[in-house]
Chains A and B, each alone.
Chain A
Amino acid sequence: MSLMADTLTIAAVSAGLFFFLAGTVGLLRFPDTLTRLHALTKADNLGFGLIVLGLLPQSPDVASGLKLVVVWLLVQLAGASASQLIAQFASKGGPSA
């Protein structure tokens, strides 16, 4: 059981790290603001979600596990809203700045 939990942790956290890598590479390499924003959401959504998924089997008690899920939901909400707001800012206010 513990072995299975550990395997899941390693797999999911590594996958999460990979998406953070994808997000960072995109943020650095993509040619314009909106595509870079697209890359950033990879890190926010998939990377963070997979890391939380991987950490869940390791959480010592139910309360900590629930808090992990709440953190993930908040990051989802913040990531989605922030990318919308940054996109609006970039399209309406960007060139003048």
Chain B
Amino acid sequence: MSLLPDFALMLLILIAAVWTVSARDRRDSVIGFIVVGLLLSLAWIRLNSVDVALTEAAVGGGATGLLLLRACARLGPNETEGVSLKVSLRILTGVLCTVVAVALATIVLYPIEPAPTLAPTAAAHMGEIGLGNPVTVVLLAYRAIDTLLEKVVLVLALIGVWALTPDPLWGGAPGSLRAQHSSGPLTFLAQVLPPVGIVIGVYLIWNGADRPGGTFQGGTVLAAMWLLVMMADLREPPEIRLHTLRRLVVLGPVVFLVAGFAGFWIANGFLSYPPDLAKPIIVLVEAALALSIAVILGMLVAGPAARAPR
């Protein structure tokens, strides 16, 4: 198989990326960004990284596009398109980008031989954990602390967004995500798609243990389904003072932490699992994390409260 199609794909990504940066209209930029995400997920398929391709497809296709288009809608048409940066800042940005690009190119063109890798060591101990997907093993066993901190960052991000709520509205619900023309096709889609999407989201989470898939992909799909229901106006975003909502937000990190501290008693340290219990613990942690990710992403897109609590 020749490399020609791969070069074509790279060229397309570059064209779409350059256009995204240079587009005059804010919303055109976002559409360009969505296209770049879709093309990138194809690139990850060509690199045989199905886990990353799934993440890119879910996050790029579902979550980010929505988040950015909602931001466009909030900004309104009258605020200046493209805040002009100082020339010095532009030059600095350009220089820094060039440095990163050159450094990356150097690494790719002149790789260290043999490449330093932990892959054989990582693969050798997979049996002890009882999972079949090396990516999940790295994320939830070897480097569990990184994953834990990532999820905590998500919670902090949500607190940051909520902190933007004006004082009188604190505890109320975020502004409606209602699409402008609420219409038959949208309502139909929002009624038919979520059941299928929830099954696919759970499938991805469950599948993550042994095959490509996982918490973040599944959680994002679940969040997208919830957002679709909110956009079709079948459900309003919940008030941010609700205790159920807040418990769901912290559920994942809390379960992860409890499992981590339990490691002191049932295994040999923080975030370590006894071999015969590793798989059930990891699956439980993944399920709790996915639920939290879904709720957090949904509330992040919904934004700060815009209505006084009822």
Whether chain B is bound by chain A comes out as yes
Partner-B contacts on A (CB < 8 A): 70, 74, 77-78, 80-81, 84-85, 88-89, 92-93, 97
Q: Are A74 and B196 in contact, with the CB atoms below 8 A?
A: yes
Q: Which residue of B lies closest to A70 (CB)?
A: B196
Please name all residues of chain B whose beta carbon is closer than 8 Å to the beta carbon of A97 when the two chains form the complex: 27
Assembly CA distance A80 to B180 (angstroms): 19
Please name all residues of chain A whose beta carbon is closer than 8 Å to the beta carbon of B180 when the two chains form the complex: 92-93
Name 16 extra pairs, CB < 8 A, besides A81-B185, A81-B189, A92-B181: A77-B189, A77-B192, A77-B193, A78-B189, A80-B185, A81-B188, A84-B183, A84-B185, A85-B183, A85-B185, A85-B186, A88-B181, A89-B181, A92-B180, A93-B180, A97-B27
> What's the interface size class on B, roughly?
10 to 19
B111 CB to nearest chain A CB (Å):
34
Please name all residues of chain A whose beta carbon is closer than 8 Å to the beta carbon of B185 when the two chains form the complex: 80-81, 84-85, 88
Assembly CA distance A81 to B228 (angstroms): 13
Please name all residues of chain A whose beta carbon is closer than 8 Å to the beta carbon of B189 when the two chains form the complex: 77-78, 81
Q: Which residue of B lies closest to A88 (CB)?
A: B181
Assembly CA distance A81 to B189 (angstroms): 7
**Lowest 10 A-B CB distances belong to which pairs?**
A84-B185, A81-B189, A81-B185, A88-B181, A92-B181, A88-B183, A85-B185, A85-B186, A77-B192, A77-B193
Q: Which residue of A lies closest to B199 (CB)?
A: A70
Binary A-proximity of B97-140 (CB < 8 A = 1, otherwise 0) = 00000000000000000000000000000000000000000000
